[in-house]
Structure 1
Amino acid sequence: MARNTASNSPRPGVRALLRVGLTVTAAGAALGAGGAANASAAEPVAAAPTAGFATPVGDVDAGAPGKAVLDAVRRSTAGGLAPAKALRLNPLAGTGVDPLDNSLGTQIADFKPISTAAVTAPLTEGAALQDLPVVGPATGLLPG
């Protein structure tokens, strides 16, 4: 019975170690924050001399690195989005087990019948994203 009544609080020695660890962590964080503030105020370091590889400052195109990154992003998104735009949205289209191949229709009195088949037809026929009536023209804005 003595074991069940024992408290779950840590022993005094363990508690002291936890306090010391927390204090050291807080001090390290404070020193790290102070070091970052001092680093931003530091003077810039002079460039190391190069042996024949120096480019005159007038020949550097400041916009070239940004253009290269933008071009790389365009090419990578085009390569990833082009197949996605042409992929069939419903892989079960045209099979006997297609859950989307259903429509609901009704006719009131002698009015023209109304059906949902016109709305669900592109999906049941296996259309791709670029073939859908409303979304298809909008996919032309995406690269690829």
Structure 2
Amino acid sequence: MARNSAGPKSFSRALLRAGLTVAVAGAALGVGGAAAASAAPEPAAPQAADDVTAAGAGLLQAVQGGLGPAKDLKLNPLAGTGVDPLDNAVGASVADFKPITTAAATGPLAGGASLDELPLVGPATGLLPG
């Protein structure tokens, strides 16, 4: 039985060669960019108070940009599907007392609630920026 000359081994070699070519080209561009960056004159050093103010403003902007959308994300990606493990409740009742179930704990997550919609944690997320 004859072997095919363009088997998986030759494809693997071609892929390796292409990867090495891209890596060498990237390294060459990086060296050229570093030389151009080192030739630029250095700006005068800003005041230390300006640095702290700018860093604080940048940090606040980053926290607002990161936490704002995170507070609105659905915590349970399986909510509303037929395979959601939190979409069940176990209950027990003793004599004439009111039955106790786990629905109060798993209900908001099974319904697709986000972080700011949870019963105990939701009001606390109002303290976070964003």
Q: Does 1:97 align with 2:105?
A: no
Write the mapping of 1:6-21 to structure 2, written as runs, cut at 5 A.
Answer: none
Secondary structure of the 2:127 match is coil
What amino acid is the match of 2:75?
A: L
Q: Does 1:64 align with 2:50?
A: yes
Q: Does 1:77 align with 2:63?
A: yes
What amino acid is the match of 1:141?
A: L
The answer for the alignment partner of 2:39 in structure 1 is none
2:100 to 114, 117, 128: 114
Secondary structure of the 1:137 match is helix
How far apart, in 2, do the equivalents of 1:121 and 1:135 lie? 14
How far apart, in 1, do the equivalents of 2:50 and 2:69 lie? 30
Deviation at 1:103, TM superposition (A): 1.2
How far apart, in 1, do the equivalents of 2:48 and 2:65 lie? 28
TM-score (normalizing by structure 1): 0.55
Q: Deviations over 1:91-139 (max 9, x none)?
A: 1111111011121101101111111101111100000011111111111
Identity %: 60
Q: How many residues align?
A: 87
Runs (5+) with no aligned partner, structure 2: 1-43
Give the number of the structure whose residues are more often helix, by fraction: 2
Q: Which has the larger radius of gyration?
A: 1
Runs (5+) with no aligned partner, structure 1: 1-53, 55-59
What amino acid is the match of 1:86?
A: D
Alpha-carbon RMSD across the aligned residues, in angstroms, is: 2.0
Deviation at 1:63, TM superposition (A): 2.5
How far apart, in 2, do the equivalents of 1:111 and 1:143 lie? 43
Deviation at 1:65, TM superposition (A): 1.9
How far apart, in 1, do the equivalents of 2:117 and 2:56 lie? 29
